Amino acid sequence: MNHITMHGGLTVNGRTVIVHVGDGEACATVDGMHFNVCSLWQLYQLLRLLV
């Protein structure tokens, strides 16, 4: 069984966002604050709050 993970970072309005997807979880960290995201829709909504 293959295990695929994605890890990336971006800056939105001066705030650092780090996204990790894989190992049965998905999370985003915004300036050190951890958020669990269960879908791409939730990640999208989180990013919209920062704009």
Asked whether the predicted pLDDT for residue 36 surpasses 70, the reply is yes
Claim: this prediction has a pTM higher than 0.85:
no
Residues 25-46, mean pLDDT to the nearest whole number = 90
Taking the C-alpha atoms of residue 1 and residue 32, their distance in angstroms, rounded to an integer, is: 32
Assign 1 a pLDDT band (cuts: 50, 70, 90).
Answer: low
Asked whether the predicted pLDDT for residue 7 surpasses 70, the reply is yes
CA angle in degrees (0–180, nearest 5) for 8-11-6 = 10
Asked whether the predicted pLDDT for residue 43 surpasses 90, the reply is no
Sheet holding 33-36, edge to edge: 6-12, 15-22, 25-30, 33-36
16-32 per-position pLDDT tens digit: 999 998 877 889 999 99
